[in-house]
Structure 1
Amino acid sequence: MSTDLPARHDPGAFDLARDAAPGLPLTLIEQWRASGRTAADARRLLGAHVTTGYSVVSDSAGLTRLSRSLGLLEVLALIDGPKRVLHAYATGVGGRAVGVWAADNAQMFHPATTDAGTLLSALLRAQDEIARTCRIRVGIGVHHGDYYDLDGGLYGAEADAIEHLAENDTEGGEIAVTEAVAERLPAGHGFVLRRKERQDRQGGHDGKDGPLGAVYRVLDGPRAGDATPPGGWYPIPYPAAFYEDLLRLDPQDAGAQDAGFAATLAEKHLRERTVVLVERGEAGTGNGVSEVELLRSLDLSARMRELGLRLLPDEGAVEVKVAGPLAIYLFDDPRPAVPFALQLRAALADAGMTCRIGLDSGPVLSGRTPGGGRDVAGAPVNQASKMAQDLAAPGLVCLSEAVAAHADLGGFALVRHTVSGVDLIFYQG
């Protein structure tokens, strides 16, 4: 088996959705399917899952440059550092981790009883520590609001909006807080806030701030003391045995000795697999009620999962996860992966859903996470995502050259795209 790692890793591929819980809320979906599926039904069913508090979301900055020269394991070690620091300080003031911290993202939830000043002091101290000890920085978004807590994941318009803010409107080292957080600070709090110019905070272009209201940048303020080491790991997206090895890889050391250890870990943990990444579209149109749209989306994800499992071969293939509109599968051999993708596309079409599918083969890290789910990382995930999500039109299946070499290409055409100065060649049909 070849263990050579590609020199580049598209940081966008380390940005898969992080807030989806390890499993779909199947009981709630069953209740929705058995109901009249009206707006009143949606509000009744979701009403039992409302939680109020602070959502704290982080996203990395500066990963693009570093990922151009580092292998997969070095990148995973780099993004681990900020997550460990944030987890330590956030749990120290009563927060709990949300979902699985896939890729370079992290999310915490703090109950409404949390003092806003205490939370911001902890986050400022965490940013100081990240700047001191890590090679990459993170932007943090904080919002106080109402969310739907479904199997450990936060859903709803406000949950989506604060994730969008953190990922698209924060810089490395920044803490951005919403109006609902700022107004919970006591008089004489000592924090220096400056209102951020409104960009696209999912509020449209009508001059409104959207579900988050005004947003402020925390420029300075009182810092918390040192964090108490957390009682356990953050919800890692890796097998426990791999993570124990990853912690031995020093992300600050780019020398030959560390590179040699990374190669040893690659030989131990990476395996040649074929990735099938599916992004579904919607089935029909909704009525505009956010609660209905949320349950419809979960229902579609569950339906996609049902179809995928029905078509998946009994041996040599596994479902990695279904998260929002995405589904990812792993195959030991690329040859049965292509028929599966074509059959799943047809089954989704029969169910009224369009999709875009990308397939690539190569070394990946995959396995059971400590929480019982599965996850996957590696260049094939990046390539499959780039082809399907970024370049393909709805309804198309895209095959990398590595997969195409083992496939019947009848109905497929060779295409070329240049993305960020990189030429991509693959087949689509």
Structure 2
Amino acid sequence: MNRLFNHQLYSPALFDQAQDIIGCLPIKLIQQWEESKKTPQTAFELLEDYKFTGYSVSSDSAGLTKLTQQQGLIKVLAMINQSKEIVYSFGAAIGGEGIGVWTADNTQMLYPSSLSAERLVSAMMTIQREMNKNCQIKIGMGAHYGDFYLINGGLYGLEADVIEDITENETEGDEIVISQSIYELLPRNHDFKIVQKTHTQTPIGHIFRVLDGPVLTDILPKERKYPIPYSDEFYYELLAYSNRWHDPQLERQLTDKFTQNKAVVLIERESHHSEIHETAMLMNLSRSLILKEIGINLLAENQGQEINVVGSSGIYVFDQAQFAIDFAKKFRQELAVKEYRCRIGIDVGLVVICDSPTGGKQIAGMPINIASKMAQDKGEFGNLYLSQNVKELVNINQCKEIKYTVSGIGITAYIL
């Protein structure tokens, strides 16, 4: 049996706790892949039972980084919660299913192929209308009709990755984009105003922007409780606070009750690439276990806690910034021994940590955002990036300082 599945190194229950928006790590599938010849044919055969044809719809908040600098964590989470409820309530009303656990400000829903493209686009128009009427933040939305892999509650595959990436990185607040496949499914006499957004084709064809069109008038959303990442107690406290935006005393009470000050470490391992996406996907899922192994071995000695390991990334928290730095440096060394590079971001601040409804933990807060922007948005593999907040707590005077702007805000980072 492959070394990664040696029970002297891992407890079987350990893998059930690797949890995030895409769900638990598919350990059975990973094991089948590790014990196979790892050919493209094997990849397609293993994934055949997970195939799903339908619509994937993603959303992502606009201007959230700047907002988090202006408002407290509880208020920001309440705003995000409000928008996710709207996305889910209208989506579920037309047959959509929430994918994974909605930890951050982004959402993902899956719709059956039996749903008409016209009704789906109208639902997206309806969601944006409701957002404008009731929410203080704006979202961009992207949709694609195609073939995906639905594995352990998570959506995988090239087409799923592409539309999610376009939504996150290439849409603005209030914007709706659809892929070429959805555009071609619309009837010729549709009532939408649509323009082509891309000049060159993406891996899923051209992308189109929906400027205007009919909304749905025949649905009454009822279920608003999306796949929450929080405990029921915190979720219902957020709902109560949403009706008392201008109550600073309640905000302070919730902050004291639910937030913790932590040093957050985000580690992204360099991904495996292949001409066959399915092969690369399984290879990267398998290599998630490398992060698990290193984390298990290092966390105890550095007094830290794993939040989750998903795909090529892991998130860890520490009570002290120096423990976080020591852990990150050793982690980088261990990965290098296994001939993998990584990029790491560390920030310190208030976070909310909750037990996930499906096992493991979830985390929300500005430090996750800053760590990601330092490492994933601007970072180079091989480097460790410390924030200005970390610099105020530890001696890093010999580190190289860099400054740049991401999502409209200035960031100062220190390379270690």
TM-score range, shorter chain: 0.7 to 0.9
Instruction: Indicate conservation of the 8 Å contact 1:78/1:251, yes or no.
Output: no
Distance 1:409 1:183, change over 3 A: closer
| 1:121 to partner: Cα distance | 2.8
In 2, Cα distance between equivalents of 1:158 and 1:127: 24
In 2, Cα distance between equivalents of 1:373 and 1:329: 12
| 1:33 to partner: Cα distance | 0.8
More helix by share: 2
| 1:239 to partner: Cα distance | 2.7
Query: 2:332 corresponds to which residue?
Result: 345
Query: 2:255 corresponds to which residue?
Result: 266
| 1:172 to partner: Cα distance | 2.5
Q: 1:413 aligns with which of 399, 406, 409?
A: 399
Query: 2:128 corresponds to which residue?
Result: 127
| 1:186 to partner: Cα distance | 4.2
Q: Counterparts in 2 of 1:327-342, with a 5 A limit?
A: 327-342=314-329
TM-score, scaled to structure 2: 0.86
Q: Counterparts in 2 of 1:185-224, with a 5 A limit?
A: 185-186=186-187, 188=189, 190-198=190-198, 207-217=200-210, 219-224=212-217
In 2, Cα distance between equivalents of 1:197 and 1:352: 40
Distance 1:403 1:169, change over 3 A: closer
Instruction: Indicate conservation of the 8 Å contact 1:59/1:140, yes or no.
Output: yes
In 2, Cα distance between equivalents of 1:145 and 1:66: 34
In 2, Cα distance between equivalents of 1:402 and 1:187: 55
| 1:265 to partner: Cα distance | 0.8
| Stretch of structure 1 that moved more, 233-242 or 144-153 | 233-242
Q: Would you say how many aligned residue pairs link Structure 1 and Structure 2?
A: 397
In 2, Cα distance between equivalents of 1:148 and 1:273: 35
Instruction: Indicate conservation of the 8 Å contact 2:198/2:206, yes or no.
Output: no
Residue 289 (str. 1) matches residue 276 (str. 2): yes
Give structure 1 stretches of 5+ with no counterpart. 1-17, 200-206
- Superposed CA deviations along residues 237-265 of structure 1, whole A, max 9, x for unmatched, are 22322121111123783x4xx23321111
Secondary structure of residue in 2 paired with 1:229 = coil
Query: 2:227 corresponds to which residue?
Result: 235
RMSD between superposed Cα atoms in Å: 2.7
| 1:73 to partner: Cα distance | 1.4
Secondary structure of residue in 2 paired with 1:308 = helix
Code of the aligned partner of 1:217: V
Q: Counterparts in 2 of 1:26-425, with a 5 A limit?
A: 26-63=27-64, 66-186=67-187, 188=189, 190-198=190-198, 207-217=200-210, 219-230=212-223, 233-250=225-242, 253=245, 255=246, 258-282=247-271, 286-313=273-300, 316-400=303-387, 403=390, 413-419=399-405, 424-425=411-412
Query: 2:3 corresponds to which residue?
Result: none
- Superposed CA deviations along residues 156-191 of structure 1, whole A, max 9, x for unmatched, are 111011112222333333322223223333464x43
In 2, Cα distance between equivalents of 1:425 and 1:108: 35
Query: 1:3 corresponds to which residue?
Result: none
Secondary structure of residue in 2 paired with 1:181 = helix
- Superposed CA deviations along residues 308-330 of structure 1, whole A, max 9, x for unmatched, are 12222179422101122221011
- Superposed CA deviations along residues 207-243 of structure 1, whole A, max 9, x for unmatched, are 434314453425212523342311x621122232212
Code of the aligned partner of 2:203: G
| 1:395 to partner: Cα distance | 1.5
In 2, Cα distance between equivalents of 1:184 and 1:152: 27
| 1:342 to partner: Cα distance | 1.7
Instruction: Indicate conservation of the 8 Å contact 1:320/1:375, yes or no.
Output: yes
Secondary structure of residue in 1 paired with 2:352 = strand
| Stretch of structure 1 that moved more, 391-400 or 304-313 | 391-400
| 1:368 to partner: Cα distance | 0.7
| 1:353 to partner: Cα distance | 0.9
Distance 1:414 1:168, change over 3 A: closer
Distance 1:364 1:399, change over 3 A: same
Code of the aligned partner of 2:403: H
In 2, Cα distance between equivalents of 1:281 and 1:313: 25
In 2, Cα distance between equivalents of 1:39 and 1:354: 25
| 1:363 to partner: Cα distance | 2.2
- Superposed CA deviations along residues 129-165 of structure 1, whole A, max 9, x for unmatched, are 1111112222221211000111111111110111122
Secondary structure of residue in 1 paired with 2:262 = strand
- Superposed CA deviations along residues 296-344 of structure 1, whole A, max 9, x for unmatched, are 1212222222221222217942210112222101123334333221221
Instruction: Indicate conservation of the 8 Å contact 2:175/2:209, yes or no.
Output: no
| 1:282 to partner: Cα distance | 3.1
Code of the aligned partner of 1:196: Q
Distance 1:47 1:409, change over 3 A: same
Same amino acid, percent of matched pairs:
36
Instruction: Indicate conservation of the 8 Å contact 1:134/1:252, yes or no.
Output: no
Instruction: Indicate conservation of the 8 Å contact 2:321/2:390, yes or no.
Output: yes
Code of the aligned partner of 2:134: T
Distance 1:56 1:297, change over 3 A: same
| 1:425 to partner: Cα distance | 4.9
In 1, Cα distance between equivalents of 2:188 and 2:385: 57
Give structure 2 stretches of 5+ with no counterpart. 1-18
Instruction: Indicate conservation of the 8 Å contact 1:162/1:212, yes or no.
Output: no
